[in-house]
Structure 1
Amino acid sequence: MTERSSTNTDGNGHARNRIARPLVAAGAAVGIATLGAWTPAGAPSHGAAASMVSQVVLKATPKSPAAAAQHVTMANFAYSPATLTVGEGTTVSWTNNDATPHTVTSSGSGPLNSGTLNKGGSYNYTFNTPGTYAYYCTIHPFMHGTVVVMK
């Protein structure tokens, strides 16, 4: 009897197929479920697939900046950051880290009016209305900053 040796070049292919087939099937199921969940605008949608699609859309929606405290420093005769974008309801705190005094004063008519802040002094303001708030230092008018408040 002659012993015959054959090399199974597909030996690892079977293992790959056992892993790949369920993954392809799962991907196809999600795609089909997504297509099945589509309804014309204004028409009601039903089922778990529609709920799944809604959850994905909600998670993908960008959020405006959170209404948490934000901080601006005054150092080297500059506000840092010079422009700050926040959500409405956010409190912004300015702290003077320079040895010389500074102010936080609205350009034109506006709500910001810190008075003189010596080294280590702070000023807080809560922005409740969306808009762009430009400000400067009345002692050093070349110092400018902006707070952009998003809804």
Structure 2
Amino acid sequence: MRALGATIATGLLVASVLAGTAGPAEARTKTVEINNYAFWPSTARILMGDTVTWEFTDEGVEHNVTATSRATSQDNFASETMSEGSFSHTFMRRGTYPYVCTLHPQMGGTVIVR
């Protein structure tokens, strides 16, 4: 009887893994490149708990990443002004988060968290 129970449990575990319900998903990182006075991609779609990393690759031009929504302090984000390197923020709530480079307000992007 134990063997049958173990077989059923193993079958349920395999089915849940294949269905994607075996437990919490691992957090992921989405990269947004800052280049040619633009954010690429301009819209980042992620899951709650994921991180967005902005890579500053615009050949010495200074930029920043600043949330434009009036969100709670946990949901706000702002980088230093940088010409190289990266800035990351982990999103812990669902929602839509617009952002800009305050030095170049025509540069905008959005993070959509599901």
Query: Do both share a fold (TM > 0.5)?
Result: yes
1:28-81 Cα shifts (integer Å, max 9, x gaps): xxxxxxxxxxxxxxxxxxxx9xx99xx59x7399xxx96311111100000001
Give yes or no for the alignment of 1:132 onto 2:96: yes
Q: Which amino acid aligns with 2:41?
A: P
Max Rg structure:
1
Number of the residue aligned with 2:68: 107
Kindly indicate which of the two structures has a greater share of residues assigned to strand. 2
Q: Structure 1 vs Structure 2: percent identity of aligned residues?
A: 37
For 2:37, the equivalent position in structure 1 comes to: 77
CA contact (8 A) 2:69 2:97 kept: no
Which letter does structure 2 place at the counterpart of 1:78? A
Higher relative contact order (CA 8 A, sep 6+): 2
Structure 1 or 2: larger helix share? 1
State TM-score, norm by structure 1: 0.55
Deviation above 4 Å: which 4+ runs of structure 1? none
TM-score if structure 2 supplies the norm length?
Answer: 0.72
Structure 1 unaligned segments of length 5 or more: list them: 1-47
Distance in 1 separating the partners of 2:66 and 2:28: 22
Partner of 2:19, secondary structure, is helix
User: Structure 2 stretches of 5 or more lacking a match?
Assistant: 1-7
